Amino acid sequence: MNILVMSSQASNTGSTLRAEYIHKYLKKLNRETYYIKPPFKNMPFMLDFVFSMFYNFFKLMNMRCDYVIIVKPYPNTVLPALLLKSRGAKIIIDIDDLDHGYRQGFLSGVIRVMQASLIKYADILTTHNTELRKMIIRENPGYKGRTYMLNQCVDREVFNPRAVNRKNVKDIRRAFPGKKILFYMAHLNIASYLEDILESLRYINDNAVLLVAGGGPALASYVSMARRLKVNERTVFLGQLPLEKAAEYIAAADLCLVYYKNLPVNTYRASMKLREYLAMGKNVAADAVGDIKNFRDHIFLSRPDPESFAKTVNRAIKSIEKKGEKGYKLIFDKYDWKTEITGFYKILCGGLK
């Protein structure tokens, strides 16, 4: 059985990381699983979408496969995949977020209409959020029996407290003597909301330092914002890190952070980073928006505003409670990519019947 995995977004995005995890664990079950890595990082004016369409048409020109799995319905992947569909392939589209909800006005409408038209080419749909699944079925009733949950999970080969280099972890801690290390990781774009965390840092205990891991189109503006808010001396921008290095920083942290603005679009998200933090057994401070609320028993939960978040962070820093240790078991039981993909593979082997 030949399986192809593709991501519509740029190579440095969370959606592409999801595609890579799907590929990695399908490959362990089926050697004939392939992945086309997006050729570009984020480019201005979404030009990476335009250029990658030509790239994908070229890559798929002479290819055949049984299944093509596409993370996010955009023309740069779905239209080239129609070449494969004409040769007998079945198309699976993974909808991970309500993309048009991050934009406003005309562009939001264009994304909504475009994705709705592309979804129709799928044989089945997958998603990672129960509320998003309800919306997908409501707007596409023909997919009621063909929309599957493919949970947002964790690669426990990487995000495992026993897998990290302990010497490197100690070196990170030594670099910040006497400080409480706060760690935040995200692709820094329109959906990251680091601005609220930087604002909250003004109200967080002075002995805390914020380490920010991630690259993206908003990185430079966030660096400027930290200076403007006068928290730059307490903020370290690490840039985009390899996953293994990110796991070391998580292991070194006293507290890991997740923050979403209280907007309708965030009802339909599933935080990969929250799950990765918990997989490392770390205490997490997060605000009660969308999917995050499902983890209330395993994290320090805040109202969704910077001052309330700061109070929760201050409380979590002082607490001796190890909520993250309970979270570790939750991830092991429910959000392991190996287990999730094994179940999904059985669906593929059944011919999507």
Q: Sheet containing 284-287: give its strands across.
A: 235-239, 208-213, 180-185, 255-258, 284-287, 300-302
pTM of the shown model: 0.94
> Residue range 307-331: average pLDDT?
91
The label of the residue with tokens 């599933």 reads 270
Question: So what's the pLDDT on residue 353?
Answer: 60
Beta bridge partners of residue 284, listed in sequence order = 256
**In this predicted model, which residue has the larger pLDDT, 121 or 332?**
121
pLDDT at residue 325 in the model: 81
Query: What integer pLDDT is reported at residue 76 of this predicted model?
Result: 97
326 — pLDDT class (breaks 50, 70, 90): confident
| Better-predicted residue by pLDDT, 13 or 250 | 250
Q: Within 10 A of 118 (CB to CB), how many other CB atoms are there?
A: 22
Question: Would you tell me the crossing angle of helices 194-201 and 219-228 to the nearest 10 degrees?
Answer: 20
Centroid of chain to Cα 223: 22
The sheet that has 3-7: what strands, in order across it?
A: 33-36, 3-7, 67-71, 90-95, 124-127, 147-149
> Per-residue pLDDT tens for 134-144?
999 999 999 99
| pLDDT per position as a tens digit, 23-62 | 999 999 999 999 999 998 888 877 888 999 999 999 999 9
**What pLDDT is attached to residue 295?**
95
Can you tell me the mean pLDDT for 182-195? 94
Work out the pLDDT band at 264, boundaries 50, 70, 90.
Answer: very high
pLDDT class of 266 with cuts at 50, 70, 90: very high
Asked if pLDDT for residue 226 goes beyond 90, the answer is yes
Instruction: Name the helix (H) or strand (E) containing 182.
Output: strand 180-185
User: How many alpha carbons lie under 13 Å from residue 260 in its C-beta half-sphere?
Assistant: 21
- What is the average pLDDT across 325-350? 92
Q: 328 pLDDT exceeds 90?
A: no
9, pLDDT greater than 70: yes
Q: Does residue 197 or residue 327 have the better pLDDT?
A: 197
CA distances from 229 to 158, 199, 232 (A): 35, 7, 8
**Structural domains of the chain sorted by starting position, each given as residue range(s) with its CATH number in brackets:** 3-153+336-349 (3.40.50.2000), 166-334 (3.40.50.2000)
Q: What percent of the chain has pLDDT over 70?
A: 100
Q: Which whole number is the average pLDDT over 172-185? A: 97
The letter for the amino acid at 119 is I
Q: How confident is the model at residue 271 (pLDDT cuts 50, 70, 90)?
A: very high
Average pLDDT rounded to a whole number, residues 204-216: 95
Q: For residue 53, what are its two tokens?
A: 């369409």
